[in-house]
Amino acid sequence: MIFENDWHDDCTIHFKIESLTLSDSKKQYFMRLRLLALSLFLCFIFLSSMGLNAQGYRIEVDIKGLSGDTLILGEYFTSRMVPKDTLVLQKNGTGTFEAETLFAGGLYLIYLSPDKYFDFLLGDDQDFSIKTDTADLAGSIAFTASKDNSLFLDYKNFLREKREELNQNQSQLAASASAADSAITLERVQEINHEMETYMDGIEQEHPGLFVTTFIGATREPIPPDELLNGNRRHDDSVRFFYRKNHYLDRFDPFDVRLLHTPLYEGKIKTYIGNIVPQHPDSLIVAVDYLLEGSKAVEELYRFMLITLFNHFAESKFMGMDVVYFHIAEYYYIPDATWSGADFIKKLKDNLEKNKPTLIGQTAPNLVMRRIPADHFQMAMQDTAIKKDPHIGEDFFINDIQAEYTIIYFWEADCGHCKKSTPALYEVYSRLKEKNVEIISAHVVNTIEGKELWVDFINEHGLYDWINCWSPYSNDFRQLYNLQSYPQLFIMDRDKKIVAKRVTPEQAEQIINNLIAIESKN
């Protein structure tokens, strides 16, 4: 499958914070600043051409220990930092970032040097001041006229204190000399966790309209209430598992564009789609539709969501995920991805057209194949004319085969992988045929030379019992089943709907046995 490999904003430079290390020379550092400043200058030209709003942002900074230094105001876009504004400080270390447009909101940072930067929140109020000292950048920072950041600072300090306590208790637990000591330590760990949860609950209850509440809520994992964990269920992992699945989005709003401008957003979306939603195409399509339709209100959010989900399923190695991939392609990417080139969209359309008929859940394309009886293969061992004769056999439609499950297996006798896979599948058939499972063994080479190799292989391995067939006059089956390599195996149910494909013989046996077991319970 093909995937989108480009996400960018034409007027920004994206880089990872960790790529700017202490080993960068001053020359490299100032060269980067000049490049960033040039990028920002071009951005401002672009933004000014679009028109400006009356209300904007105004962030005063006062940084002791700096004089005439250049600062960068950046926003997080998932895990990347995007520069949005620059400022040359006055000699006393003061200055103001300001413009007539508001930022989208999210987690932002002020970047001083590779080893000195600090982050802060931007919610609805974007007019405030920051004061700090380079001697203790994190410890001396203070905010004025920003309730979001004052609470955020208190929260981070509280969290740091509690994590230090947890680390101390973990060390004590490792050094515990008795079960009683371990129990005391574990009880204290639970108390600390409870204190952290209570602290966050307090922010949520007292400040429901602030962005800091939204941000902290998005970082939290759903924890079952005490009434669900009483008695014998206290250590029941299944309770926690299902509670997490049912409440994962309670505090995380995937349609709040401000969260897109934080390092946590991408991971939350990928966890939701990869771990929280049941990994079945039908469930995933419902989740994908929910995320994509809900994000359409904000162009930036929709573009990110579409590319992220599209690439996630393009890269998936799990069977059946191509159903979700092509669903996204057909209903969202092809009609909406105006940023993609015409060649990419054309390839995607062609790929969709080729694969759609054989997606899991579709009725298998019907084929006319010619069935060759077992005695023909046996007689062909002694008669060259019979061996070369392409007219032997009777035509049949594969969808007319009556069975609980049918495997159609495309292979060729001169294929290295097929030489191993075909006898293995025949062994599987010997175990499955009593369960009303049929195998259509379709040889794909329809030349005289191909038939001779096919006959020899059937006779060498004694593969007489299943349906041996080929298509001597047509290659339509290659296009209908999008056959690019061999062997290829498709499993169909009694209604000839595809339930699995491109699996090994051993996997096919396991899948069919599992399906039979499920049916027997219903």
Q: Which residue has the tokens 């940072």?
A: 109
Mean pLDDT of the chain: 87
CB 358 within 8 A of CB 501: yes
Span 178-196, mean pLDDT? 88
Count the domains in the chain. 2
Residue at 5 is within a domain: no
Share of the chain above pLDDT 70, in %: 89
Residue at 51 is within a domain: yes
Residue at 453 is within a domain: yes
Write down the pLDDT at residue 43: 44
- Digit-coded pLDDT (tens) for 128-155: 999 999 999 888 999 999 999 999 999 9
Distance CA 338, CA 329 (A): 13
Q: Which residue has the tokens 């550092």?
A: 29
CB 486 within 8 A of CB 418: yes
Residue at 243 is within a domain: no
The CA-atom distances, in angstroms, between 456 and each of 183, 329, 380, 381, 387 are 72, 44, 9, 8, 9
- Domain boundary (119, 145, 171) is at 145
Tokens of 504: 């090994």
Write down the pLDDT at residue 8: 39
- Digit-coded pLDDT (tens) for 33-57: 344 444 444 444 344 444 434 479 9
| End-to-end CA, the chain | 36
pLDDT at 270 over 90: yes
Q: Identify the CATH number of the domain in which residue 64 sits.
A: 2.60.40.1120
Residue at 494 is within a domain: yes
Among residues 423, 404, 428, the alpha carbon closest in space to that of 413 is found at 423
Res. 382 pLDDT band, cuts 50 70 90? confident
Residue at 457 is within a domain: yes
Q: Identify the CATH number of the domain in which residue 480 sits.
A: 3.40.30.10
- Digit-coded pLDDT (tens) for 288-321: 999 999 999 999 999 999 999 999 999 998 889 9
Residue at 439 is within a domain: yes
Residue at 94 is within a domain: yes
Span 201-215, mean pLDDT? 96
∠127-131-136 over CA atoms, to 5°?
Answer: 145
pLDDT at 509 over 70: yes
Q: What is the DSSP string of 226-278?
A: GGGS-GGGTT-HHHHHHHHHHHTTSS--TT-HHHHTSTTHHHHHHHIIIIIS-
User: Which range of residues forms the domain containing residue 490?
Assistant: 368-521
Res. 368 pLDDT band, cuts 50 70 90? very high
Burial of 328 (0-12, 13-18, 19+ CB in 10 A): buried
- Domain boundary (105, 120, 145) is at 145
- Domain boundary (106, 123, 145) is at 145
CB 328 within 8 A of CB 288: yes
CB 12 within 8 A of CB 319: no
Share of the chain above pLDDT 90, in %: 73
